[in-house]
Structure 1
Amino acid sequence: MVDESKLESEITTDAVDFSFGELLNLHREKEIIIRPEYQRLFRWSNEQRSRLIESVLLRLPIPPIFLVENEDSVLELIDGLQRTSSVLQFLDHDAIGQPELVLEGCDILKALNGVRFDDLSTSLKLKIKRTPIRAIIIKKSGDQFVKYEMFKRLNTGGSLLSAQEIRNCSCRMIKGGENFYSALQKWANVPEFEGAIARLPEAGRDMRADEELVLRFFAVKDFREGFKGNIEEWLNNYMEDILLRHKPFDVFEEDGVFRQVFGLIFSTFGDGAFSRYNSHGEPTGRLAPAYFEAVVGAITDSYAEVSQVDPHLLRSRLKAAFSSDEFISSTGPGANSNQKFNRRIAVVKQHLLALPNGSH
């Protein structure tokens, strides 16, 4: 029999419709905390913010926001920062410490371009303030892992958040999770790492793909045995093992390793370590995750030896590795199989160190 009382005590979420005017008042009264570390504050352009205001006035659907109730019953915004902050900036820019938002780029209600909130009629001001947005509130729970799982499952399979955005929010519900994710964010801003992954599309960065690459680096380094073919599950399981103390993770020690590895990668390959090469020997196209895994895996395995090889030789050897039949076959169809995952790391290592075939 299912213990219904236990279910009721553990699964505690509410769905509430707040108006934007209510959100502004709750923010002013510090009853809702908007933490920019949960999501990057104002990565949206002025045009994107303006089009959201336009959508509000057009009564177009707006995705829900997610909040978590902390120990003091104060609500913390953990997803929806861009949407919420954009509207609050338009309503009262001083309340969130941002410059006044002047609308631009509105392509349906073009008369809105160049307009400030104070320029609107009373009826339009009230229309924005009274527009509701659905808020999913994850209530206080005695079990932090239940809260973590709840958020993850609410989002899994949906299109509102990327896998890494879900990790960013959910891991903060476990004690120590905020510190771990803050370290990922710090490493994502290391200049050598930023330079090495410069071919990552901007749209991917907006969905935290750079932070996911940091997590993927450590998973390649320390959790290859957990790779079963599903990238999302592999990274989730690795992060959970760290958060639940099933795996050791010393941020200070890992910081040294991370900076050392990406210092070598960027100084040697620039932004060409994780992408294909054209017939002229130049890197081309976007960052390819399978190439990223292969290179960081090979270099973390053999950093001492690789760091002694002339950079010019390393560049020519990496190009040779990427053009080899073995590597190509390990990055094509079925590239996420465990066998091909390990094979492409071995191929790159073999080429970088000029090992005989069959030596890894």
Structure 2
Amino acid sequence: MTTSDTPQPPEITEEHFLDTGTGVEAETEAEDTPPEIDRPWNPEQIRVNTKQFSLRNALDMIDDGSLQLAPDFQRGLVWKLAQKSRLIESVLLQIPLPAFYFAEDTDGLMRVVDGLQRLSTIHDFVRGGEARGFALKRLEYLQGAVEGKRFEDLPAPWKRRIYNTQIVTNVIDPTTPPDVMYDIFKRINTGGTPLNAQEIRHCMSKDRSRTILREMTSTAEFNAATNNMGGHIRMNDREMALRFAAFWLMGADGYAKYAAMDRFLQRTTAMLDNREEVTDARVKDLVAAFRKAMVNARLVFGDQAFRKWPQESSGRNPINRALFETWSITLAEYEAADLERRREEIVERARELMTVDYRYLEAITSSTGDVRRVMYRFEAIARIAEVGT
């Protein structure tokens, strides 16, 4: 075979956000990959009600907890002061705001799904608390009237204009099936910086799963193994922890039932939110297994843990999600002393696999949710983990 005929390894592409690398490798889909939804939803399952609220009413609901702004969701902090100020200016100019999307649960509580940054900005300006919100800067039309003013400094008519502004909201009924709700979120998610899959799951989930994932990604063991990935601005850390939880709870064989990563992870989120399905004791075991996996990954691979590291490669690539889920689940089954004894041989075999096995490289690069690729990478790594035993 000539050099030109030799298969070339897939290109490694790092995800970027606001022109900055996220430290995580982008996952790509092959052109012939079938859609995850292989049949249309029953239209009768889609229940979305349109309601109107005044901004005062929406802000009061946020303050009393009946409308949640996705706790610890960092994307709401991305807007710059000029963007925030011009949103407030638009409200003062009585320019209609784009529709918002809320998700209602069975207890009547609502979560903001689309419009999180807008509502967070308005709440910050009006109800800034001790921080007194922010002062309006770099306005386009109202410089002479309100430039440099905070909400408390505005004349009463301007305050009333903000409070009385009506917003249109599409409220997704709690009887809408979770998978349908998730697909609705993906379809409406077309803003300037669309949410990724984990950010959508975070908006849909309840406090219990959020707390579990935050605990897992806040551990010293996770941050040592991932070069301080905890607190990731795109929540890729939470997704990696969720993938571990999914395969730890249901196994690679269980993945075949869902045959799509989104559905698999959405199901896991629902399980973590339900104490009857995943008890507190089970959560404790999950976190302990996760810590053990992170310690073992760092022990075996050092700074190269969960990254593509083929032979003849000396640099450090972004973290690869598929490598994270397979190696973390596999290494959680071994003791540190055993792995330390076999470390060099495991690393050698792992690097060889990433160099010569193009089927494996595809399984951790493109269409990584394909059932056959998921099973192949788990089987391949399981064989390597047993070397020298």
**Length-normalised TM-score, structure 2:** 0.66
**101, 104, 127: which is aligned to 2:134?**
101
How far off is 1:118 after superposition?
4.4
Is 1:299–1:306's contact at 8 Å kept on the other side of the alignment? no
> 1:237 is matched with which residue?
267
Residue matched to 1:152? 182
Q: Post-superposition shift, 1:259? A: 1.1
Q: Distance in 1 between matches of 2:328 and 2:78?
A: 37
SS of equivalent residue, structure 1 residue 135: strand
Larger RCO, structure (CA 8 Å, separation 6 or more): 2
After superposition, the C-alpha distances for 1:48-85 in whole angstroms (9 at most, x for unaligned) are 365134134244754514153664x6x44353554323
Residues 350, 384 of structure 2: 8 Å contact kept: yes
Q: CA deviation at 1:90?
A: 0.6
Offset of residue 88 of structure 1: 1.4
- The answer for the alignment partner of 1:210 in structure 2 is 237
Alpha-carbon distance change, 332 to 185 in structure 1, aligned in 2, over 3 angstroms: closer
Q: Which residue of 255, 270, 289 corresponds with 1:227?
A: 255
- In the TM superposition, 1:281-292 aligns within 5 A as 281-284=314-317, 286-292=318-324
Does 2:115 align with 1:87? no
Aligned residue identity for 2:251 = F
Q: Distance in 1 between matches of 2:285 and 2:227?
A: 25
Query: 1:12-27 maps to which residues of 2 (within 5 A)?
Result: 14-27=49-62
Give the percent of matched residue pairs that are identical in Structure 1 and Structure 2.
Answer: 18
Q: 1:331 to 1:92 in 2, by over 3 A?
A: closer
8 Å Cα contact 1:164/1:211 also seen in 2: yes
| Deviation (angstroms), 1:234 | 2.2
Equivalent position of 2:102 in the other structure: 66
Specify every segment of 5 or more residues in structure 2 that has no aligned partner in the other structure, as ranges.
1-42
Find the counterpart in structure 2 of residue 258 from structure 1: 290
Tell me how far 1:183 sits from its aligned partner: 1.3
Q: Is the 8 A contact 1:34 1:77 kept in 2?
A: yes
Report the alpha carbon displacement of residue 162 of structure 1 after superposing the two structures with TM.
Answer: 3.6
Q: Kindly provide the CA deviation profile for residues 221-254 of structure 1, in whole angstroms up to 9, marking residues without a partner as x.
A: 3331233442112222344466678965611111
Structure 1 distance, partners of 2:344, 2:180, is 50
Distance 2:142 2:303 in 1: 41
Instruction: Quote the Cα distance in structure 2 between the aligned partners of 1:131 and 1:253.
Output: 49
After the TM superposition, which residues 338-349 of structure 1 pair with which residues of structure 2 at under 5 Å, given as runs? 338-349=371-382
Q: Aligned partners of 1:239, 1:287: CA distance in 2, in Å? A: 22
What secondary structure does 1:307 align onto? helix
For residues 245 and 201 of structure 1, what CA distance do their matches in structure 2 show? 25
TM-superposed deviation, 1:129: 3.5
User: Any conservation in 2 of the 1:149–1:170 contact (CA below 8 Å)?
Assistant: no
Q: 8 Å contact 2:132–2:150 — kept in the other structure?
A: no
The equivalent of 1:3 in structure 2 is: none
Q: Per the alignment, in what secondary structure is the counterpart of residue 223 of structure 1? A: helix
| Distance in 2 (alpha carbons) for counterparts of 1:11 and 1:259 | 40
Deviation of residue 314 (structure 1)?
5.1
Separation in 1 of the partners of 2:141 and 2:342? 59
Deviation at 1:256, TM superposition (A): 1.2
Going from structure 1 to structure 2, the CA distance change for 1:49 and 1:257 (only over 3 Å counts) comes to farther
In structure 2, the CA distance between the partners of 1:268 and 1:117, relative to structure 1 (3 Å rule), is farther
Q: Is the 8 A contact 2:242 2:265 kept in 1?
A: yes
**Match of 1:328?**
361
Look up the SS of the partner of 1:15 in the other structure.
strand
| Equivalent runs, 1:112-261 vs 2, <5 Å | 115-118=149-152, 125-137=159-171, 148=178, 151-159=181-189, 161-172=195-206, 178-198=207-227, 205-221=232-248, 222-228=250-256, 229-240=259-270, 250-261=282-293
Q: Deviation string for 1:180-225 (max 9, x for gaps)?
A: 44212221222322343448698xx444332221111122333312
Letter in 1 for 2:170: I
Distance between the aligned counterparts of 2:361 and 2:246, measured in 1?
22
C-alpha separation between the residues in 1 aligned to 2:300 and 2:202? 31
2:103 and 2:204 in contact (8 A); partners too: no
In 1, the alpha carbon distance for the partners of 2:316 and 2:105 equals 48
Counterpart for residue 309 of structure 1: 341
Please say if residues 306 and 353 of structure 1, whose CA atoms lie closer than 8 Å, have aligned partners that are also in contact. no
Amino acid at match of 1:68: E
Contact 1:64 1:135 (8 Å CA) reproduced: yes
Equivalent residues of 2:100, 2:167 under 8 A apart: yes
User: Is the contact made by 2:299 and 2:340 (CA closer than 8 Å) also made in structure 1?
Assistant: no
1:87 CA displacement: 0.9
SS in 1 for 2:187: coil
Q: Structure 1 residues 13, 245: closer, same or farther in 2, change over 3 A?
A: same
Q: What's the CA shift for 1:120?
A: 5.0
**CA distance, structure 2, for counterparts of residue 169 and residue 46 of structure 1:** 17
Q: Deviations over 1:232-287 (max 9, x none)?
A: 12222344466678965611111211111112223544553222347552212x32
User: How many residues align structurally?
Assistant: 329
Give the conservation status (yes or no) of the 8 Å contact 1:46–1:103.
no
